[in-house]
Structure formats: structure tokens, C-alpha cells
Structure 1
Amino acid sequence: MGIYHRPDKLKDALHLLASAPVTLASGCTDLFAATEAAALEGQILDLTNIAPLKTIENCHGHWRFGAAVSWSSIVGAALPPAFDMLKAAARQVGGVQVQNAGTLGGNICNASPAADGVPPLLALDARVELQSVSGMRYVPLSAFITGPRQTTRRRDEIMTAILVDEGKAQGSSAFLKLGTRKHLVISIASVAVRLRLNGDRVAEAALAVGACSPVACRLGAVEAALSGVRVDTVEQHVMEADVRAALAPISDIRATSAYRLDGVPSLVRNALILASGRGKALE
């Protein structure tokens, strides 16, 4: 391994990133696994010792998740029900060791189509905060990931936080994933659902699907169809054609594209049942 940097101040990390080519590390649960060599090459900049990147707080009208917050920290945080889907995803990212080491920012920046953290954050209309020595900018998560392993992060930038506006942190939520087993598995498909009600009617629905297109995506047509319907009938308004039209799955070692297209509508209905608070999902 080359030179390993682990600063405790963000300004030091930013100056180092601006001065030399380095590989950013934030948990390494994907970085090491993707390394074909016996060790990481070149200079490594570990971000997990920078305290402000490891906090979760509610301030200035939004929830702020430091980019180096671990999955275990998310599970243990006092968050409103709109984040239950993110907590459910966190509980299913690998085993406990991976949940302790892996980070939310790392999951996003790795930009895997199957990243379990992305669909819940899309359903929360999350934004990412990016900093460099030149300043700070914000990008909607929906625009940040542009393809498999591709993002709009510039070489001199560090993702420092993920932000969710208070207005979007409303309602109840659920997350489900389809895999060959319940844990320690990469998603064949994943679904995140958030419902905000007005009495017994759906005032707002947000649904996102992962692992079924180059980038996780929202189901806009399904969301529109759910607006105003009674909460005890939400699953009945999910049209398979609307779900499938938003997806572009591939066939890989985990599943065929046809299997994914067949499975996602049922996954969406089940997640809606859970988010509506009506007990167990359908088999």
C-alpha cells in the first residue's frame, strides 16, 4: 500500500485532495472488495476520522447525515418514521461487521445500481453536499448518480453530507429487497416506499426501485396513481405496466431481466402494505 492518510480535520483532507491524486476511502467495504491487487495502490485518504462527517442531526430545516455515518449509526439513531425505510435498508447491508464499517456516503459514491441506501434516499428527495477548497455545492441525489459507478463528483470534491428537507421527512415508510436469501446478499431488486396521508387518503407517495436499471429510479406514474386514494387500497392501484415502464433491468449472475420485471410489482405492493401500517406483506 502507498501512503495512508487519516486526517481528523476536513480542511486538511480537502487540501490534500487538491494537491495530489488520492483514492478516497470511507469504510472500504466495497473499495477493498473491488481491488484485484494484494493491496490498495497509490495514496489513500481515509475520511472516517473526521468527526463532523460522522454525525446525524436535525438543523436549519433539514436532517443532515454526515457522509461517513455508518449503517449501524443509522439503525441506532432517533429518526422519524419516514426514515424507517433507510433503517431497514441499513439492517440488510451485509453483516454486522459491514454495517459497523460501511458508510452512507461510501454507498452512494460507489454508485452501484444495487446500492440499498439509494432507493430510500431517492424517496426522501435527498440532496448531497460536496465540498472542495474552492467552495461547496449541493446536488439532488437523483442527478448525482449518472450511471453504474459514475457520479458528478469532481476529482477535488468530498461528499460531506446527505440532506433531507423536513418537508420530505414526513409520513411512514418501508423498504423491501428481493434476494436469494434474507441477509448477506446483493439485491436482485429493492423497493423503498414513503406515504404521507391526509386522513385516510394518500396526500403524497414516493416510490423508488433499485437494482433494476443503470441508476435507481422513482416510479412517477405509480406515485401519480396513488395520489388521493384510500390508504387501505393503495396496493390495488399499482399497475404492472406503470412499474415496468420505468425499469431497464439486465440479466446477470443473480437474476434475469424477466425475473426482475416479474418480481418488482409484487415487491412494490408489499412495501405499500407495510408502509400503510396494515401488518405483514402478502406472500
Structure 2
Amino acid sequence: MPAPVIAATDLVKTYRVKGKPDFVAVDGLSFEVAPGESFGLLGPNGAGKSTTMKMIGAVSTRTGGSLKILGLDPDRYGPEIRSRLGVVPQQDNLDGELNARENLYIYGRYFGLPAKVCHQKADELLAFAQLQDKAKSKVDELSGGMKRRLTIARGLINDPRILLLDEPTTGLDPQARHILWDRLFRLKERGTTLVLTTHYMDEAEQLCDRLVVVDHGKIMAEGTPASLIREHSSREVLEVRFGSDRNAEVAPHLEGVGERVDVLPDRILIYTHDGDAALAALAERSLHPVTSLVRRSSLEDVFLRLTGRSLIE
């Protein structure tokens, strides 16, 4: 087995808060990432995902535990590690006064790449991001999806061993998200190691070979998307709505329908191996929801089972 490119053991990060106990953002995370793997940190806002990414990116020191990036300690070898990483931050931080090509060229110069190499790589990455026709467009003239693809292209200018993506598709429309996913699939095929944070269940299922579910700085579960769903949820889920003021009232009458029932503010989830059979069972009890939907289980259901709340809360 090749050595992991990222190895964390009992990783801890705390922040001092004046007049209050220290805030624990990351609380004993342990995981490894193999070369060429697409690894995800899945969880709600405030779970500790971005804090973990900052430590991996060698821009935030850890409070405790062990962390090795490409075999090096980021607290001691920050510049060496950062030179071999690509970073796509949560918010695009492109230079709005420069055009798309200039953003790539100047970023390459920050890494000490020769001017000729920067010109060549800028053209290659614009093609990769499908932005050739926008090479001379100012950043402020680009759409949100184009800016995101340009930010990813910029993160690849130094041929990184690892590409860190912090919530890469937040705020994008469905079409832009799918275009971005395609670009990331191509990076996986080239052998680039991807580490991404997201609170979108479909994104994690699409992009991650393996992931950890994180909440309150702790790992709740770890595995492939398929294995987590098999372990923590049923094959199908029946979603029903009786009206927001009636869901809680109807819930006690659902006992014995499916394997588990979760009552959310806007709907009821019935976990079962046969969603159509569960819906028929409701009709037999003279329970007629306003809307109903049978779907396969997802990582959202896994997180709901583990934490009692939705990923997007």
C-alpha cells in the first residue's frame, strides 16, 4: 500500500474565547487519505470542516494530535507543503481588476514559475476550465460558475499533489454545479488527490471515493458513500407531508410502518425497504398525505440518523 498523503491522528484545534471556556472546533479527528483518492469531509456549517482544511493547508497550527501532509509536519514545514498544494477557498478571491488569463499567469509567478511556463500553463488551464473564450474578460464580467472554474484552474497552476476544495459549488445553479463536477472528475482521472468539504449530500455521493461525517468537531462515521448508506439507513425512504400543523399529530399512527420514522418540521420520513408498500400501508390506515415521494436513501438520511438533524441546518 502506498503511504498516505494525509495522515491525521487525534487532531485537535481549540480557540480561546475571552471570558468563556476554550471553543473546541476540531475534537480528536483521525483519518488517512491515499494518493489519488477523492476524500470528503461531510457535515453542517460549524462542524469543523473548514478548520480541518486550514490545518491540512498549513495555514493554521493544530492544538493537539498528529498531522502529516506528504510526510511532513505542517507546523514545521508550512512553505514546503503549501508549494505542493492547490487550494480552492470557500469564497472566490480572484483579482477583479485582471482578466482571466492574467489571474492564472500572476498566480503562477507567485510560485516562482518562469514566465514562459506560466503563459503555457495559463492557456492549458483555461482550456481545462472551458474558459478559452473568456481569457481576456475581466473577472467581474464572469458568471459565478465561470469564476468558480477559474478559481479551480488557478489552484492547479503549480501541478499540486493535493487539491483542497472548501465547499466548491456553494451558491451555484444546478447546471454550473454539474459542469464543475465534470472538471473534478477529470482531475481524479489524472490522479490528483482531492480533499473537499461540502454539506451537499449529492455532491459527496458524486465526487467522493470515501468520506467522514463530522459534527461538532468529531467523526460520526467513515466509509464509502454506499457503505455508509447501507450501514445507517434503509434501502428506500418514503417522504410524506400531511401539512406542517398535522405531521406531529399523524406520527403516532405510523407505528409499524417501515423500520423507522423521523418527524421533521416540514415532512415525515419513513425508512423502509419498500417505499411503495409503506405508502399502501398508509392508505390501509386511512392516512392520506398531501404529498408523497418514494426515493432511495441518501447521505442526508445517514446524517439525520447519526445526529438527529439535517445536513443543511
TM over 0.5: no
RCO comparison, higher one (Cα < 8 Å, 6+): 2
TM-score scaled by structure 1? Answer: 0.28
| Bigger-Rg structure (1/2) | 2
TM-score scaled by structure 2? Answer: 0.26
